[in-house]
Amino acid sequence: CTAIIAEDKTGRLFHARNLDFGLFLGWDIKHSTWMVSQSLKPLTVNIDFQRNNRTIFKSVTFAGYVGMLTGVKPGIFTVTMNERFNLDGGFVGIIEWIFGIRNSVWIGFLIRSVLENATSYEEAKNELVETKLISPAYFMLGGNKSGEACVITRARETCLDIWELDLKQGMWYLVETNYDHWNKPLFVDDRRTPAMKCMNKITQEKISVPTIYDVLSTKPVLNKLTTFTALMNVAEGTLETYLRDCPNPCVPW
């Protein structure tokens, strides 16, 4: 996955992501694609969660998957999650759960609860930082005020790092893939460098929903695992989701 949060010169925040999933879960030789990624595309749905006929939050998910990995609470915050691969991974949390240690929360369920119940950027941030998790993760959280954006690097039990937007230092965007931001990505899986290169080329003056879509359409940020691209604008409360394909030649991840 690749997620980007960026702030333009007027203080508007944009949050976007490519959801990549299905690595090593069967390669379809005929169509030159990953089988699970291909099967997830027609299941992708945008959902308007309502209570008393009023929108509580909007999210993109897969039909039948009740947790959320991407969503916007209009006017308040946006959130996405990227997988964090670790030996102390989700299977350990699941085994603990099976053996009755149930003080951890499933990630998709946590994000949905945060979208449903948190009433501010700070409240959402606290929940994502402090809750014990079944599996490690990266949470990208964007608010609705200038400078309100961060990447939260989580181990299952603790928060390892909070990486904040820092406009005074010229850091007007954050890019997160599937690696700790203080470490280099695996050299065969570096989507961070091309994404940052494109963001730097666009500049803060020209950042917008269309130009972020350009970044997420650039290989290898777009790759054979990319199921959809989601674009969110917190102030307007909008969520746009586009199903993606990466015809050959295209990198497999």
210 touches other proteins (CB under 8 A): yes
Binding to other proteins (CB under 8 A) within 43-82 occurs at 43-52, 56, 60, 63-67, 69
Sole binder of other proteins in the list 2, 33, 78, 135 (CB under 8 A): 135
Q: Annotated catalytic sites, by residue?
A: 1
225 lies in the binding site for other proteins (CB under 8 A): no
- Of 116 and 123, the one with the shorter C-beta distance to other proteins is 116
Contacts of 240 (CB under 8 A, 6+ apart): 209, 230, 231, 232
User: Which residues have C-beta within 8 Å of that of residue 116, sequence separation ≥ 6?
Assistant: 49, 56, 57
- Using CB under 8 A as the binding rule, whether residue 5 contacts other proteins is answered as no
Residue 222 beta carbon to other proteins: minimum distance, rounded to whole angstroms:
6
250 is a contact residue toward other proteins (CB under 8 A):
yes
Range 145-164, binding other proteins (CB under 8 A): none
Give the 3-state secondary structure of residue 149: strand
Report yes or no: 45 and 63 within 8 Å, Cβ to Cβ: yes
Within 8 A by CB and 6+ apart from 156, the residues are: 88, 92, 93, 104, 132, 133, 134, 135, 136
* Of positions 12, 96, 97, 237, contacts other proteins by CB under 8 A: 97
84 binds other proteins (CB under 8 A): yes
| Amino acid occupying residue 138 | Y
Contact 220, 251 (CB under 8 A): yes
Identify which range of 7-15, 90-98, 123-131, 166-174 contacts other proteins by CB under 8 A: 90-98
Segment contacting other proteins by CB under 8 A, of 9-17, 94-102, 142-150, 159-167: 94-102
- Measured from the CB atom, is 120 or 211 closer to other proteins? 211
Where do runs of H (alpha helix) occur along 9-159?
35-40, 90-98, 107-117, 121-130
